[in-house]
């Protein structure tokens, strides 16, 4: 297709070794490029994180990075309890989560590693093409229960939502539902793949997924689109214009359901590894934030957050 998209997004956080005070950890062989850590997080993002971890481990053969999914809520809980060294989340840490970590003597440190768009998907046979926030609020709160009210031809309407453990559950709830509850007849799912399959197989369904899930295979270029579903154009209000979720609209800030993808570490723990200078978690985050790591993020459907990256589309 030949078009070149340049992402000129720059990091606001310095991903250099930290030099704060803290106890020194003795008897460890860990460095920024050696050792073993567990990364836990959102299932949609884990595909990208696995690609980055594999690339990192090829470069640094003494490193072992285990990557596991489970959702934002489980990831931050594992970080707090020491079962994970990095939590990958598609929403910011909550005040309650932050307070719990501080109460336990830790300190959650945030890094923005990419940007994503929350896509609103329907069955490919659905004639609806666009929705605004007011309509989305009506659908997912249960006030709108028929596609006919929106100009469609189907009577029944079923919201398919991320489960409460997934970051997009709270993100959409706060941004679009103003903190209100989801419809009683919403169908919660535990993975992005489940949402895609339900929407693909039910013409009445509407779901919420990462825009990276609009493609089934990112390991070829151009990526292979997911069949049976389509993403809708979204507007915050009709007057602001409707935008399709893709890397361009997210990068330019036009897609209204755009948000950062975060990594969190317990910085009190990381500082015990020679004040962070021997922390494999910090080494891996530094790699993800480098040009090579950001290139992988772009190739997996995300928008780079820390380095300018050029890719072919």
Residues 99-157 have pLDDT tens digits of: 999 999 999 999 999 999 999 999 999 999 999 999 999 999 999 999 999 999 899 99
**pLDDT for the residue numbered 29:** 85
**pLDDT for the residue numbered 310:** 61
**pLDDT for the residue numbered 275:** 86
Local confidence band at 308 (pLDDT 50, 70, 90 cut-offs)? confident
Report how far apart, in Å, the C-alpha atoms of 132 and of each of 150, 216, 241, 299 are.
11, 26, 9, 29
Local confidence band at 10 (pLDDT 50, 70, 90 cut-offs)? very low
Closest CA to 215 of 199, 231, 204: 231
pLDDT 10s digits, 233-286: 999 999 999 999 999 999 999 999 999 999 999 999 999 998 888 999 999 999
CATH class held by domain 4-115+259-312: alpha beta
Asked if pLDDT for residue 5 goes beyond 70, the answer is: no
Q: Delimit the CATH 3.40.190.10 region(s) of the chain.
A: 4-115+259-312, 116-258
What is the pTM assigned to this prediction? 0.88
Local confidence band at 311 (pLDDT 50, 70, 90 cut-offs)? low
Asked if pLDDT for residue 177 goes beyond 80, the answer is: yes
Average pLDDT score over the chain: 90
pLDDT 10s digits, 44-77: 899 999 999 999 999 999 999 999 998 999 999 9
Q: For the domain bounded by 116-258, which CATH number is listed?
A: 3.40.190.10
pLDDT 10s digits, 189-221: 999 999 999 999 999 999 999 999 999 999 888
**pLDDT for the residue numbered 1:** 41
**pLDDT for the residue numbered 19:** 27
Asked if pLDDT for residue 27 goes beyond 60, the answer is: no
Question: Where is average pLDDT lowest: 25-34, 75-84, 175-184?
Answer: 25-34
Q: For residues 135 and 174, what is the distance between their CA atoms, to the nearest angstrom?
A: 15
């Amino acid at each position: 297709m030949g078009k070149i998209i340049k992402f000129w997004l720059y990091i606001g956080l310095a991903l250099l070794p930290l030099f704060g005070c803290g106890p020194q950890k003795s008897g460890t062989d860990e460095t920024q490029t050696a050792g073993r850590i567990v990364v836990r997080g959102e299932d949609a993002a884990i595909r990208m994180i696995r690609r980055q971890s594999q690339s990192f481990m090829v470069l640094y053969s003494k490193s072992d990075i285990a990557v596991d999914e489970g959702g934002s809520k489980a990831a931050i809980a594992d970080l707090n309890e020491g079962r994970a060294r990095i939590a990958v989340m598609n929403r910011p840490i909550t005040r309650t989560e932050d307070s719990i970590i501080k109460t336990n003597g830790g300190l959650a440190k945030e890094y923005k590693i990419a940007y994503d768009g929350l896509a609103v998907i329907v069955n490919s046979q659905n004639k609806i093409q666009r929705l605004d926030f007011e309509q989305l609020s009506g659908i997912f709160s249960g006030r709108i229960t028929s596609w006919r009210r929106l100009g469609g031809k189907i009577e029944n309407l079923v919201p398919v939502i991320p489960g409460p453990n997934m970051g997009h559950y709270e993100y959409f709830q706060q941004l679009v539902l103003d903190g209100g509850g989801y419809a009683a007849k919403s169908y919660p799912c535990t993975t992005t793949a489940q949402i895609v399959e339900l929407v693909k197989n039910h013409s009445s369904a509407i779901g919420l997924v990462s825009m990276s899930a609009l493609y089934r295979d990112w390991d070829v270029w151009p990526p292979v689109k997911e069949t049976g579903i389509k993403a809708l154009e979204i507007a915050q209000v009709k007057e602001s214009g409707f935008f399709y979720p893709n890397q361009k609209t997210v990068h330019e800030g036009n897609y209204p359901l755009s948000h950062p993808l975060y990594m969190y570490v317990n910085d009190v723990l990381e500082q015990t590894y020679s004040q962070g200078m021997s922390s494999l978690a910090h080494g891996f985050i530094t790699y993800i934030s480098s040009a090579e790591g950001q290139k992988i993020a772009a190739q997996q459907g995300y928008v780079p957050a820390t380095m300018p990256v050029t890719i072919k589309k």
